[in-house]
Amino acid sequence: MRESVPVYLNGRFLSQPTTGVQRFALETVRAFDRMLARRPDLRGEFRFVVLAPRRSVLPQGLYHVNARTVGIGAGHAWDQLELAFYARGGLLLSLCGAGPVVHPRHIVAIHDAAVFAIAQNFSRPYRAFYWALTPLLARTTRAMVTVSEFSRNELAQYFPTTARKLRVVWNGAEHIHAERADAAVLSTNGLAPSRYVLALGSLSRNKNVGLVTRAFAAMDDLDLRLAVAGAGSSRVFSGSAVQHGPRIGALGYVSDAAIRALYENALCFVFPSFYEGFGIPPLEAMQCGCPVIVSDIPALRETCGDAALYCDPHDPRSLEAQIRALAERPELRDRLRELGLARARRFTWDRSAEMLLDVVREVRDGGVERADGGTYLPQSGLGKGTQ
């Protein structure tokens, strides 16, 4: 009988604020725990252990995945030195774009190629670090995971030698239902159900919130407000600002319970990014029955399919036309709600964990970069959409 293999998960994300990549890591850990509960045979095959730096907030409610803090350091130094030491003898999963370059059986998730494709959107220290680290990871890891076919193709263009080792593992979105909706966020901010448009994301220039404010400037005839939820990080992004006005409000950071209520009561959710590797927020909105308008860019076409309306991220008139269509056509809103709910059900964290487990097995069995140069990529079976 084969001895169970230790699979160590890089828990540095537990010491960081939650954005999309940290969400991917946390929900993957929870999905692995559920998978182990359902399948005793898997518990004999693998032992999953999260290793986190001190002062991390360890996840609660795990029954089959062990989580503990190790070492005395933090940050990238902890990644490169202490994590590599404590994860020796097993497989290592780093799910947030960074990890030790010296570990011999390392799988790393690189969510997109944004730091190379839109470098101007990042601070100089941030991009300098990842311009140095990512090529090293591309050479030293046994497998690399990314979240869409678009990102896989982008990364393969920047790092051609990674093509054989790149695997696609989607994000999920059903985590939005983990918290009961907190409708108090509406009354606190003067928002009436179906009478506001919701925008979400950091205030990075890439999130393109300015496009929404410019579109709103041309819609004085509609009794609508714009609510922008989320906060930016000056350490990472060069920054942008939301233009405030009588019909435009920045809500700042809101809880998961509040964002669920905002999704459930909005006329629509708009996500006009210039660049995305996947796009979790549109799927969260779809999970909540909220019609979605997104940028007409490849990754969002791949994620949203025919369940969203699309706009030109450079043209406020394009977004204005789509918002007007939803405000004036109840049948269009109803159709998008139905399509969105069906689309979102295809993306679950349990399914993502199964896809990632396939990669873990490949590495355990000495695969991924095989002698014949072959590769395995899960087939999405998802249409690109025609909306």
pLDDT band at residue 364 using 50, 70 and 90 as cut-offs: very high
End-to-end CA distance of the chain: 52
> Are 284 and 194 contained in the same domain?
yes
| Residue 199 included in any domain | yes
Q: What is the pLDDT of residue 250?
A: 82
Q: Does residue 371 carry a pLDDT above 50?
A: no
pLDDT (mean) for 266-290: 97
Give the pLDDT of residue 154.
96
Q: Which residue has the higher pLDDT, 2 or 234?
A: 2
Q: Are residues 56 and 31 in the same domain?
A: yes
Answer yes or no: is pLDDT of 375 > 80. Answer: no
pTM to 2 decimal places:
0.88
The backbone torsions φ and ψ at residue 292, rounded to the nearest 5 degrees and listed phi first, read -125, 135
How far is Cα 147 from Cα 156, in angstroms, rounded to an integer?
Answer: 13
Kindly state whether residue 387 falls inside one of the protein's structural domains: no
288 and 142 share a domain?
no
| Backbone phi and psi for residue 339, each to the nearest 5 degrees, phi listed first | -65, -40
- 166 with 200, same domain: the answer is no
User: 373 or 276: which carries more pLDDT confidence?
Assistant: 276
Percent of the chain whose predicted confidence (pLDDT) is above 90: 79
The alpha carbon dihedral of 363, 365, 369, 373 has a sign of negative
pLDDT at 168: 97
Report the alpha-carbon distance of residue 67 to residue 183 in Å, rounded.
34
The mean pLDDT of 20-40, rounded to a whole number, is: 96
Statement to judge: residues 331 and 190 lie in one domain = yes
Q: What is the pLDDT of residue 80?
A: 95
Q: Is the dihedral of CA 126, 249, 284, 180 positive or negative?
A: positive
Band of the pLDDT at 264, cuts 50, 70, 90? very high
For 352, what's the count of Cα atoms within 13 Å in the CB-facing half-sphere? 28
What is the average pLDDT value for the chain, to the nearest integer? Answer: 89
The answer to whether residue 98 is domain-embedded is: yes
Q: Give me the pLDDT at residue 1, please.
A: 53
What is the domain range of residue 108?
A: 5-172+348-364
Find the CATH number of the domain harbouring 60.
3.40.50.2000
| Tens digits of residue pLDDT in 291-307 | 999 999 999 999 999 99
The encoded tokens of residue 84 equal: 């590599």
Question: Token pair of 198, please?
Answer: 């919701």
User: Is the residue at 386 inside a domain?
Assistant: no
Mean pLDDT of 160-175: 94
Residue 148 lies in a domain: yes
CB atoms within 10 A of CB 297: 18
Please enumerate in sequence order all residues whose Cβ is within 8 A of that of 376, keeping only pairs 6 or more positions apart, or say none: 167, 358, 362
Give the DSSP letter of residue 147: S
Residue 187 shares a structural domain with residue 232: yes
Please indicate, yes or no, whether residues 118 and 220 belong to a single structural domain of this protein. Answer: no
Q: Give the separation between CA 215 and CA 320, rounded to whole angstroms.
A: 5
Whole-angstrom distance, CA of residue 30 vs CA of residue 9: 12
Alpha-helical segments (H) within the chain: 20-38, 40-45, 75-77, 84-86, 114-117, 124-140, 149-158, 184-188, 209-217, 256-265, 280-287, 298-304, 316-328, 330-344, 349-364
Q: pLDDT digits over 201-253, tens only?
A: 666 788 898 899 899 988 989 999 999 998 643 333 334 445 556 788 888 88
The predicted-structure confidence for 49-69, as pLDDT tens digits, reads as follows 999 999 999 999 999 999 999
Q: How many other C-beta atoms are found inside a 10 Å radius of the C-beta of residue 370?
A: 12
Number of domains in the chain: 2
The answer to whether residue 383 sits within a structural domain is no
Instruction: Tell me the two tokens of residue 201.
Output: 């994301």
104-138: pLDDT as tens digits: 999 999 999 999 999 998 899 999 999 999 999 99
- 370 in any annotated domain: no
Quick one: 17 and 54 in the same domain?
Answer: yes
Query: Does residue 119 sit in the same domain as residue 142?
Result: yes
The order of strands in the sheet holding 248-252 is 248-252, 225-229, 196-200, 268-271, 292-295, 309-311
Average pLDDT over residues 245-271: 91
Token pair 């319970």 in the structure block, residue: 257
Residues 146 and 235 in one domain: no
The per-residue pLDDT for 339 is: 98
Q: Answer with the residue of higher pLDDT: 2 or 112.
A: 112
* Closest by CA position to 172, among listed 338, 24, 362, 41: 24
The pLDDT assigned to 245 comes to 61
In a domain, 371, yes or no: no
Check whether residue 319 and residue 259 sit in a common domain: yes
* Domain shared by 10 and 57, yes or no: yes
Task: Compute how many other C-beta atoms are within 10 angstroms of the C-beta atom of residue 331.
Answer: 7
